Every structure is written in C-alpha cells, then in structure tokens.
Structure 1
Amino acid sequence: MMSGRTVKRYREGNITAAFGTDLLLQGITAVPNLLLRLYRHLDITDEEMILLIQLLRLQIEEKNLLPSASALAECTSQDVTRIQQNLNRLLEKEVLAVTQYYDENKDQILSGYDFEPLLEKLSEIWASIRVREIERTRCLLEKRTRMEANSPEFALIIKAFEQEFGRPVSPMEVEQIQQWIEELNPTLVLEALRRAVLRGKHNFKYIDSIILEWKKNNLQTLEEINAYDAQFKKRRSKNTTPKVDERKKALLKTLYLS
C-alpha cells in the first residue's frame, strides 16, 4: 500500500472497476479553461505549460510546494536539464515566482512556487480581450442602427429573423445578414429563412448552406430557384427505381422453375 493514499481492496480480476475507483480516489487537478485557451498570449510554450500543470498537480496532490527538477522529470517527457531551463524561463518571464508559505502542521516556513503572477498576467490578457469585444459589439450595434435608419428593407429583414428565432439577433448575426443582402436579392434571404424554419433549422449555418447552394448554381430569382428544385426532384425520381419485394421475387422464381 502506498503511504499517504487511500487504497481500496478489489475483487480479483475486476481491473476496470479497480481503475475507475482509483481514478476517482487519486483526485483531479483543475486547470482553468482560460489558461488553456490563452497561455500562448503569455509567451508560454507548450513544454512550459505542461510543466505548470505538473507543478499545480504536485502542489494539490502531494503538497509538494517546491518539487525538484528530477521529480518533475519523472512525470514529463522532459529531462532534468530541459526542466531546469523551462523553470528558469518561467521565472524570468515573471509568470512563476518563488515565495514563502507557512505550514501550520509543521509550524514552519517553506519555500514554494507561486502562481499569483501567472493569474495576474492572465487577468490582464482577459481584460484586454474583453475590452476589444465590447468595443467591437458597440461598433456593430451602431452600424446596425445606421443601416436600419437608412434602409427600411434591411430593418424588416432583421425583424423577420428576430421573430422567427424568438430572440434578438447578435451583432455578428446582423453582419452575416448584411453580407447575404449584399450578395443576393433580399427576397431570397427571406426565402432561405422561410425554408430553414419549415425544416426546423433555426440556425444561421443552415441558412448559409442554402444561400451557398443558390450562389453556386447562379440562382438569382425565386422563379429560377423553383425551377431548379423541380429539375432536382425530377432527376431524383428518375434515379430511384422501385424495389421489388423479396417475397414476390421468390414466388416468381418458383413459378418459373415449376
């Protein structure tokens, strides 16, 4: 039995249950999704990110605040020299720091890696991204207001989408609708919306696929679209041969053989 861990006795041969139980007993290291998504913005390499995750795990699971390079080498594909280089780079970038911790159980001061600089830098990146998103949303909303004021037809199409979707369209969706209107007759945009709703597909991706099909076949009016649909159905009906019931085929075969 490993010291300091809870171990359960398993039924002989029940490997799957043993693995599942041990998987839960060993615990989980939580890594923020924001960190996984934005670490490249912090000039952190993939190797350095793996190292940070292992440092987190060792602090949480084994209470090892300052693991050695050799201990880290045992749980990564990096050798001791490479790990020491990556640790030094993380410290130089001020993503990681070494600070003092107080251990109540041992009543002593311990040195350990500190992730506070990492979180501070991550929060700055997140804030700058949010500011850009807010500014972009504001610009798109202002653009929508101007377009609706200058084009009653555009305003009616936006209203039609919002009524069918049962919600306000987002600034990005407004931009998509504007692109469709610039490429197609607005009547066709409404027709694509109607067809999507009839099929229960209340999403912009499906509507875009309809419009792309029309553009690919150079269909520019409702009449051309209806004619194209009719031809498509006609071709499909010609290619569909009626299937003969297998029981009838067997019966015919016996009649010819008798």
Structure 2
Amino acid sequence: MIKDDFIQFLEEGNLSIPKFLLSNYTKLGLNETEFILLLHIHSFLESGKTFPTPMEIADLMTISPSDCMETIRHLLKKGYLTISDEMDELNIKYERYSLQPLWEKMIQYMMERKQIEKIQHTEEEEVSLYTIFEKEFARPLSPFECESLSLWIDQDEHDTSVIKAALREAVLSGKLNFRYIDRILFEWKKNGIKTVDQAKEYSKKFRKYQLQQKKTAVGHEKEQTNTVPFYNWLD
C-alpha cells in the first residue's frame, strides 16, 4: 500500500516556481495568502485544469471559498492575474487563468533592481576613484580636479577602471598631473581603447615604440659624431 501511495505521489509531479519569485513576492506587493493562491492556480494550470473554481482552490488552503473568490478579484484588480477567453479544438469557448501578468511584474522588478544595483555600484566606484586619486596625489583634490574626474565619467564616458589605468600610467611615467592623465584618456578614446586590457596593450606598444625611438636617436648621434657624412653621388 505504501509503495502504491509513493508511486502515486511521484506521478503527481513537481511544481517548479522561480526562486526569485519565492524570495521576492512580498516586494512585488503580495501577501502570503495571495502568493499561495497564485501557486495553486499555477499548479492547476500545470496539470491541465485551466479554470479551477474558488471552492477547488479553497479546499487546498485554509480560507473559505468566499475569501478565495475575494482574493482572486483582488489579484485581478491589482494586475497579477487575468482571465482570458479561449477556443478549444471543437471551437467551444472556455475561460482560463493566466499568470503572465505576474511573470511580467516579476521581470520588471528584476530589471529595476538590476538598474538600482548598477547605479549603486557606479556610485561606489566613483567614490573609490576619488579616494584612489587623493591617495596617489597625497592630498585632497581641488574643485577643478574633482570636476575633471566628473567630466571623464559623465561627459567622456570613460569607465572608472580605465581612468584608474590612466592614473597608473601617469605614475609609471613620472608625470602625475591631471593634464597628463587627460591626454592619456584622450589618446585612448581616439584609438578606441575602452577596457583595461586594451589600455595595457596600447601602453605596452607605446613604450616599445618610445624605446626604439630613443635607440634610433642615440644611434644617429653616434653616426654624426664618429662617421664621415654620406653624400649621394647620384644627385
């Protein structure tokens, strides 16, 4: 008997709901009764019963059919649930519940939360950026320097990580001033540099070019000092 009950239990299947919804249903404006009622409707829809009665739903909860009906009306009014008219294969009209409004609200809330998190992260990055600059300059930034930082972020749309990379480049070059950093960022933007990796690669090539230029200049000075000037006899 236990074996048969267990097999029946397995055949009833499982109800899958987004974990995000389970963790955030209160933030979507739902209370426990509304949430559980929606889950039961979801379960009925999953099993193929598209329009369960308030009594059928209430039998699975601790509320009366009238309270269930009132809760359903409330969910319809608040836009968490809809009832649509459908046609079956025999062109017979029937009604069904749809949880699409609930999923849309969940997605909208998810997108808004991501946007808020992005804004908070950007603000934290900017605060960190000011702190890093003040640490490198070993002094508080002037109003002009603060404005320059804001312009690099807001107007020039440089990522904070790229601005940090430009600061490191200025430190390595021994030219720690905002004008030099601004020039670095200008050159990077002109050459399509948008990431730290691209900036590192560009700086590596630039240093290599500078080293070659110095070697060429030194070699040229030696030639002028130690060799006879070359004349092109064909001219």
TM-score by length of structure 1 reads: 0.49
| 1:83 and 2:102 aligned | no
Letter in 2 for 1:54: H
What residue is the counterpart of 1:101 in the other structure?
A: 86
Letter in 2 for 1:50: I
Shift of 1:23: 2.9
Shift of 1:141: 1.8
Q: Deviations over 1:120-178 (max 9, x none)?
A: 222221111111001111111222222222225xxxxxxxxxxxxxxxxxxxxxxxxxx
Secondary structure class of the residue paired with 2:25 = helix
What residue is the counterpart of 2:125 in the other structure?
A: 141
Secondary structure class of the residue paired with 1:41 = coil
Aligned residue among 15, 35, 43 for 1:29: 15
| 1:125 and 2:109 aligned | yes
Instruction: Extract unaligned runs of 5+ from structure 1.
Output: 1-12, 153-258
State the distance in 2 between where 1:127 and 1:109 align: 36
Shift of 1:103: 2.8
Shift of 1:101: 2.7
Q: Deviations over 1:226-253 (max 9, x none)?
A: xxxxxxxxxxxxxxxxxxxxxxxxxxxx
Instruction: Extract unaligned runs of 5+ from structure 2.
Output: 137-235
Aligned residue among 99, 107, 118 for 1:115: 99
Letter in 1 for 2:28: L
Q: Deviations over 1:104-128 (max 9, x none)?
A: 3x54332111111111222221111
CA RMSD of aligned residues (A): 2.3
What residue is the counterpart of 1:225 in the other structure?
A: none
State the distance in 1 between where 2:49 and 2:86 align: 12
Structure of greater Rg:
2
What residue is the counterpart of 2:200 in the other structure?
A: none
Shift of 1:29: 1.3
State the distance in 1 between where 2:121 and 2:10 align: 43
* Percent of residue pairs bearing the same amino acid type: 20
State the distance in 1 between where 2:127 and 2:35 align: 41
Aligned residue among 35, 59, 68 for 1:49: 35
What residue is the counterpart of 2:191 in the other structure?
A: none
What residue is the counterpart of 1:38 in the other structure?
A: 24
TM-score by length of structure 2 reads: 0.53
Letter in 2 for 1:79: S
State the distance in 2 between where 1:107 and 1:33 align: 38
Distance 1:21 1:144, change over 3 A: farther
State the distance in 1 between where 2:88 and 2:9 align: 28
